[in-house]
């Protein structure tokens, strides 16, 4: 798959998509990403007005394969799923790479090479060593991993959009540590910092200022509204496994309605674009 990057036309197309994706990160007018898990979901989301980019979610892709999140899905399967999403839509695609499927910087860089060859032009890379509430990787170690990823992308001429995730707040840490880690990740070559666990507008405002507007957040129904998050300076808002939950909640509702001998739901007429 890496050989796909040997084609200069392919590299140029990926580079253009990466630049387009980066330009969509605007504090106050954020990029809203409705995370998907397969080609059909990608086409449905891409067809909606105002959608300018597509993001995958690792939890959702793993669930679609019948396994748990946390790199339980083999790397080859994860990359293949991302590749199908990227091939299904003309929009830039950014993918959740979890911890990068490797410990050493060169291993993570190799994973990113596979990602680019699959057609994605952005990625999340987290600093957690375990689950979202587990221990964090030392800052210096994560910095080296981010630097390796940036160098690998530059080596093939694609300005990968690197969304460096920190799980400080999700693990019970404080905002000062999240800010310090985020600044270090930006200096290492990240384009924005995804702070998992942000839940209030004062924290969004402070981190947006700390990161000069390059803040990414995860939204859910208990969060401030999208308009409020935008007003507080967020540049990127995503939803993780939430969209898959919404889709399958509707599937469950329809199944219950039909097996209960109820009326045919109108949604049975819907077909994803080809």
| Secondary structure string (H, E, C) spanning 234-274 | CCEEECCCHHHHHHHHHHHHHHHHHHCCCCCCHHHHCCCCC
Cα torsion 48, 50, 54, 60 to 10°: value is -60
Q: Is residue 270 part of a domain?
A: no
C-alpha dist (Å) from residue 235 to 35, 133, 143, 149: 16, 24, 22, 22
pLDDT of amino acid 253 = 97
Instruction: Kindly give the interhelix angle for 175-187 and 139-155, rounded to the nearest 10 degrees.
Output: 30
Question: What integer pLDDT is reported at residue 274 of this predicted model?
Answer: 67
Q: Residue 190 falls within a domain, yes or no?
A: yes
Q: In terms of residue numbers, what domain contains 93?
A: 2-258
Calpha distance 108→105 (Å, rounded):
5
Whether residue 201 is contained in a domain is answered as yes
pLDDT of residue 3: 66
pLDDT value at residue 273: 80
Residue 267 lies in a domain: no
* Amino acid 6: pLDDT: 86
How much is the average pLDDT of 47-61? 98
Packed helices 39-46 and 242-259: angle between N→C axes, nearest 10 degrees: 100
Residue 26 has a pLDDT of 98
Q: Which of 69, 160, 87 is nearest to 123 (CA)?
A: 160
Whether the predicted pLDDT of 139 surpasses 60: yes
Residue 114 belongs to domain with CATH number: 3.20.20.60
Contact residues for 19 (Cβ-Cβ < 8 A; gap 6+): 159
User: What is the rounded average pLDDT of the residues 95-107?
Assistant: 97
Residue 274 lies inside a defined structural domain of this protein: no
Residue 272 placed within a domain: no
Average pLDDT over residues 120-127: 98
| Residue 46 located in a structural domain | yes
Token representation of residue 63: 């669930």
Q: Which long-range contacts (CB under 8 A, 24 or more apart) does 202-208 make?
A: 203/169, 203/175, 204/229, 204/232, 204/233, 204/234, 205/232, 205/233, 206/175, 206/179, 207/175, 207/178, 207/179, 207/182, 208/27, 208/232, 208/233, 208/234, 208/235
The per-residue pLDDT for range 174-215, each reduced to its tens digit, is: 999 999 999 999 999 999 999 999 999 999 999 999 999 999
Mean pLDDT, the chain, rounded, equals 96
- Please compute the mean of the pLDDT values over residues 71-90 and round it to a whole number: 98
In terms of Cα–Cα distance, which of 244, 251, 215 is closest to 231?
Answer: 215
pLDDT for 25: 98
The tokens for 149 are 């990823």
Going by pLDDT thresholds of 50, 70 and 90, the confidence category of residue 5 is confident
- Tens of pLDDT, residue by residue over 26-46, are 999 999 999 999 999 999 999
**Residue 269 within a domain:** no
Q: How far is CA 64 from CA 61, 244, 271, 272, in A?
A: 5, 9, 19, 17
Number of domains in the chain: 1
Q: Return d(Cα 176, Cα 196) in angstroms, integer.
A: 14
From the centroid of its chain, how far is CA 180?
22
> Residue 4 above 80 pLDDT?
no
Least confident of 64-73, 81-90, 133-142, 204-213: 133-142
Question: What is residue 37's predicted lDDT score, i.e. its pLDDT?
Answer: 98
Reduce the DSSP state of residue 56 to 3 states and report it.
strand
pLDDT value at 2 more than 90: no
């Amino acid at each position: 798959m890496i050989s796909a990057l040997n084609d200069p036309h392919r590299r140029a197309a990926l580079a253009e998509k990466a630049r387009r994706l980066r330009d969509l990160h605007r504090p106050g007018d954020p990029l809203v990403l409705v995370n998907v898990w397969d080609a059909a979901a990608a086409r449905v989301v891409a067809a909606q007005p105002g959608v300018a980019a597509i993001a995958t979610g690792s939890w959702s892709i793993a669930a679609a394969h019948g396994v748990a999140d946390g790199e339980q899905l083999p790397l080859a399967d994860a990359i293949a799923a991302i590749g199908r999403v990227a091939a299904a839509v003309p929009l830039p695609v950014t993918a959740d790479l979890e911890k990068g499927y490797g410990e050493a910087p060169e291993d993570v860089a190799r994973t990113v090479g596979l990602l680019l060859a699959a057609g994605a032009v952005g990625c999340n890379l987290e600093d957690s060593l375990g689950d979202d509430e587990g221990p964090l990787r030392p800052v210096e170690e994560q910095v080296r991993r981010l630097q390796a990823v940036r160098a690998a992308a530059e080596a093939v001429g694609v300005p990968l959009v690197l969304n460096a995730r920190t799980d400080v707040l999700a693990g019970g840490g404080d905002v000062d540590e999240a800010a310090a880690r985020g600044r270090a990740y930006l200096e290492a070559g990240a384009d924005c910092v995804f702070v998992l666990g942000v839940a209030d507008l004062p924290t969004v405002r402070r981190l947006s200022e700390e990161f000069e507007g390059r803040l990414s957040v995860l939204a859910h129904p208990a969060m401030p509204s999208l308009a409020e998050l935008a007003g507080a300076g967020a540049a990127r808002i995503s939803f993780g496994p939430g969209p898959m939950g919404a889709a399958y909640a509707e599937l469950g509702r329809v199944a219950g309605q039909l097996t209960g001998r109820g009326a045919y739901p109108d949604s049975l007429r819907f077909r994803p674009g080809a």
